Structure 1
Amino acid sequence: MTDEFADLAELMREEQELTEGLADIDPEAGRRRRRRGLLITAIILVVILGSAGGYVGWALTAPLSAPAVSSQAPAVPTSPPAPIVLPSVAASAIAISGADAYLGPAASSMWATTGTNDARPIASLSKLITALVILEAKPLADVDDPGPTITFSKADHDLYDKYYVMGATIAPMPIGSSMSERDALATMLIPSASNYAEAVSTWAYGSQGSFVSAARRWLAANGLTGTTIVEPTGMSARNTSTPTDLIALGRLAAANPVVAAITATRSLSLPGPGSMTNTNDLLGVDGINGLKTGNLGEGTYNLLYTASMDVGIGQRLGIVGVVLGESSRAAVDNDVRALLTGISEGFHNVPVAERDQQIGTLTTPWGASATMVIADNTSILTWSDTPIAVDMKTTTPKTYSDGEVVGSITWTAGPHTVSSDIVLRGTIEQPTEWWRLTHPAELGAP
């Protein structure tokens, strides 16, 4: 029976099309044809109403044809490039872990560099190597372990005068005074006391010759083939390294709990050395939490630094960077702060849609209509000028009521995706029974 309904509906549709075509050519003939069509329709309805099952039951319950949808995804905003300012110095490098999906797969090994990868004097950055080599011979159990006690001899005390004459940073070391290994390392690293670097490295290895040999073995074992160490303090310009090696050294130092904790300490007061302030005045600024400064005078200011930054991607960025050969400590600080600020600002939320933003209309075969709008205010986190793609899908309404979800819209930028529902704004009334009875061609297949 349903096949018969469909055939009759098709006959009625064809009759309607012929009538409309004739009306365009001859209005009077069209009116006569229309009256004839109404008569045919009435006859057909009478025939159908008498059929088993009944046309009425079918017409009143048949699914409705899909509405006509006119929609267009909203324009996708664009963002300017991140304001990245790399240091304009002899050499610099930075590696960023935790954001390879945004910054590229190489970011965690090396994200950006300036200058060349030539070996340059590293000055007191050498003391990080000295500390790590000392801890290899005299390890501490944890950050709270003071380690063995070191008693300073007259030879140790004489180092104060030696490095004073050289213009190095020094700290008091009275004859016969004693200090824990951890405190001695702190005095070497926080104020960068060169006399402590030599005294403690000699204590750990018995002589400077043995220490230097151990340092060279340690460098080779850790793959730092571009680094040369001839003494423990960095006062010699022959202590050199490359930006690539220094990034690796920064990771090694940051991974050592004792060195990481000491280099993150802003100030310290100990019997003997007294009050000490960390030479790295950027500690606590822009997420910087280590490591070491170094310079041999104008034009040789260096900083090997680590930082931890929350940029809203669900995990903190781990940053290791180095600046070599700046003109002053202030210039180094400005270089690093400008770069970190640019990285932080490069991660930003871009608004892509507003609540009730209209993106289309929906028109039913029975002449009713409603607008389609985006359900929520929506923004997407992205990096720099990463393009934002949009994908929109709509569905046929079931209830045609205000607020009914009739699709979704999704934005993608790099690894990040956000979505919002598309909803009807305005209720569409269901067609009347008469419309159903008189428009079988607009009803869905039975």
Structure 2
Amino acid sequence: MTDEFSDLAELMREEHELTDGLADVDPEAHLRRRRRRRIALLVTAIILVTILGTAGGYVAWALNAPLPAPATTSQQPAAPASPAAPIILPDGTASAISISGADAYLGPTAADIWATTGTDDPRPMASISKMITALVVLDAKPLADANDEGPTITFGKADHDLYDKYYVMGATIAPMPIGTSMSERQALAAALIPSASNYAEAVSTWAYGSQGAFVSAARRWLTANGLTGTTLVEPTGMSERNTSTPTDLIALARLAAANPTIAAIAATPSMALPGAGMVHNTNGLLGTEGITGLKTGNLGYGTYNLVYTASMDVGIGRPLQVVGVVLGDNTREGVDNDVRGLLSSIREGFHHVPVATHGQQVGEYRTPWGSTAKIVIAQEASILTWSDTPISVTMQTTTPKTYTDGEEVGSITWTAGPQTTSIPLVVEGSVEPPDDWWRLTHPEELGAPWS
């Protein structure tokens, strides 16, 4: 404005000199000139006041006008892929496995039969037969619970002679001195834990009066329980005519595991028994990979068998309940390796997949004046899944209130089967306001003051 005032002052000085010279020549002209000069000065002053007032109003508006919201860009991260779990199924044998408690991962039929190898043809059960014997004995002489010892059995000379009978046959046996007394539960334990054939025949004869009556009862019991693929001709499994299928043995294992007495005995590593002394479980896998039972059986090379149960904690909130069978391996070690490998591969198939890192950027806020801040994932995250179960991701964002560092602005969620993992989204950095110069020089970003 200094230049405008200077021009006005110069105009007034020139006008004054001119009119002073005219005053001496024509007084009327001089008066008219002075009136025009006063009018010009008044108009000029009004214009200057208007200009100054308008400029001051613009400055005040520009420095206080609302700012435009930062532009937001975001990109939902891709869901990671999970590799398929290599399940190690038994090789060269007939096998089946049932898994309860993981239908959401393994499928709705997993609790029936999840996987099989070989055929479902009948094969020699060997000493797995003793599990049927125990169930049929308990059908005639039930025990109240796992701690009920039941009636006392005293073994005589005929029972004692069974030791020699099965010794000659090469069966597993346990001492049975004449006059030995033990409870029903202990007798069943002698038949199941060390797999003593002499005790299996003795206790079944005690329960039914004769082997003929026992075998007839066993066949009725098998039919009543739908085990039509199973044949039992004697109580020990020494006969190759005692046969069953993998499917039937899965069903049989469920029945045995549901019986408190048999389940408790099958899970016992060793026990001291009257007359028989200390006996040890033939199932060397007890406690391995969560294995809780049930029964071994073998007739020599090519007929090593195992029916097993396991309770496996894989991190999904409740243990998996596993029932399985392997028939026809060449060695006991082969059976054990098959079962260990299968259960271990199932356990390892449940794994945590990394889905995000702390501070991973998924978006940005940017202003017209150049201030920026990031949208980031607040912490690292992973999700538990089974094998190659697909992982999906969804992201939701909200409009920030302050655009300052650490402000929560949404969430991101990953889903795999029934599992979900959610992590907050936060602002990293802060959106800073513009300086005064930017406000004064960018009215179009703020909006015209007269609009």
Q: TM-score, normalised on structure 2?
A: 0.82
- Give the match for residue 111 of structure 1: 114
Range 362-371 or range 393-402, more displaced: 362-371
Task: State the Cα distance separating 1:215 from its structure 2 match.
Answer: 1.1
- Name the CA distance, whole Å, in 2 between partners of 1:216 and 1:435: 96
Range 253-262 or range 393-402, more displaced: 393-402
- Give the match for residue 213 of structure 1: 216
**Paired residue type of 1:177:** T
Retained in 1: the 8 A contact 2:365–2:373? yes
- Give the match for residue 170 of structure 1: 173
Which residue of the other structure, out of 307, 312, 316, is the alignment partner of 2:310? 307
1:180 aligns with 2:183: yes
- Give the match for residue 4 of structure 1: none
Task: State the Cα distance separating 1:135 from its structure 2 match.
Answer: 0.7
- Give the match for residue 122 of structure 1: 125
- Give the match for residue 264 of structure 2: 261
Task: State the Cα distance separating 1:433 from its structure 2 match.
Answer: 8.2
- Name the CA distance, whole Å, in 2 between partners of 1:90 and 1:310: 27
Please give the per-residue CA displacement for 1:405-438, whole angstroms capped at 9, x wherever unaligned: 1221111112211111111101112457897896
- Name the CA distance, whole Å, in 2 between partners of 1:255 and 1:137: 17
- Give the match for residue 240 of structure 2: 237
Please give the per-residue CA displacement for 1:260-284, whole angstroms capped at 9, x wherever unaligned: 0100011112221112110000111
Partner secondary structure for residue 110 of structure 1:
coil
- Give the match for residue 25 of structure 1: none
**Paired residue type of 2:346:** I
Q: Percent identity?
A: 71
Partner secondary structure for residue 302 of structure 1:
strand
User: Does the C-alpha gap of structure 1 residues 244 and 432 become closer, same or farther in structure 2, counting only changes over 3 Å?
Assistant: same
1:419 aligns with 2:411: no
1:389 aligns with 2:386: no
Retained in 2: the 8 A contact 1:303–1:322? yes
1:68 aligns with 2:71: yes
Partner secondary structure for residue 335 of structure 2:
helix
Retained in 2: the 8 A contact 1:66–1:396? no
1:81 aligns with 2:84: yes
1:275 aligns with 2:285: no
Which residue of the other structure, out of 198, 201, 205, is the alignment partner of 2:201? 198
- Name the CA distance, whole Å, in 1 between partners of 2:365 and 2:446: 16
- Name the CA distance, whole Å, in 2 between partners of 1:218 and 1:430: 85
**Paired residue type of 2:150:** G
Please give the per-residue CA displacement for 1:372-430, whole angstroms capped at 9, x wherever unaligned: 11101101001112222222222221111111112211111122111111111011124
Task: State the Cα distance separating 1:368 from its structure 2 match.
Answer: 2.2
Please give the per-residue CA displacement for 1:232-265, whole angstroms capped at 9, x wherever unaligned: 1111111111111111111111111110010001
- Give the match for residue 289 of structure 2: 286
User: Does the C-alpha gap of structure 1 residues 136 and 194 become closer, same or farther in structure 2, counting only changes over 3 Å?
Assistant: same
- Name the CA distance, whole Å, in 2 between partners of 1:67 and 1:138: 81
Please give the per-residue CA displacement for 1:182-228, whole angstroms capped at 9, x wherever unaligned: 10000000000011111101111111111112111211221111111
What are structure 2's unaligned runs of at least 5 residues?
A: 1-49
Partner secondary structure for residue 393 of structure 2:
strand
Task: State the Cα distance separating 1:176 from its structure 2 match.
Answer: 1.8
Partner secondary structure for residue 141 of structure 1:
coil
Partner secondary structure for residue 107 of structure 1:
coil
Partner secondary structure for residue 291 of structure 1:
strand
- Name the CA distance, whole Å, in 1 between partners of 2:223 and 2:192: 23
Partner secondary structure for residue 420 of structure 2:
strand
Task: State the Cα distance separating 1:442 from its structure 2 match.
Answer: 5.9
Retained in 1: the 8 A contact 2:68–2:445? no
**Paired residue type of 1:157:** H
Retained in 2: the 8 A contact 1:83–1:345? no
- Give the match for residue 41 of structure 2: none
What are structure 1's unaligned runs of at least 5 residues?
A: 1-41
- Give the match for residue 326 of structure 2: 323
Partner secondary structure for residue 265 of structure 1:
coil
- Name the CA distance, whole Å, in 2 between partners of 1:90 and 1:348: 28
Partner secondary structure for residue 286 of structure 1:
helix
Task: State the Cα distance separating 1:69 from its structure 2 match.
Answer: 2.2
- Name the CA distance, whole Å, in 2 between partners of 1:197 and 1:61: 96
Which residue of the other structure, out of 159, 182, 191, is the alignment partner of 1:156? 159
User: Does the C-alpha gap of structure 1 residues 202 and 413 become closer, same or farther in structure 2, counting only changes over 3 Å?
Assistant: same
Retained in 2: the 8 A contact 1:212–1:230? yes
**Paired residue type of 2:428:** R
Task: State the Cα distance separating 1:67 from its structure 2 match.
Answer: 3.0
User: Does the C-alpha gap of structure 1 residues 355 and 187 become closer, same or farther in structure 2, counting only changes over 3 Å?
Assistant: same
Partner secondary structure for residue 98 of structure 2:
strand
Larger radius of gyration: 2
Partner secondary structure for residue 223 of structure 1:
coil
Partner secondary structure for residue 211 of structure 1:
helix
- Name the CA distance, whole Å, in 1 between partners of 2:439 and 2:253: 77
Please give the per-residue CA displacement for 1:274-322, whole angstroms capped at 9, x wherever unaligned: 1211000011111111000001110000000011111100000111110
Q: TM-score, normalised on structure 1?
A: 0.83
Please give the per-residue CA displacement for 1:335-394, whole angstroms capped at 9, x wherever unaligned: 001111101111111111111112221113454210111101101001112222222222
Which residue of the other structure, out of 223, 226, 236, is the alignment partner of 2:226? 223
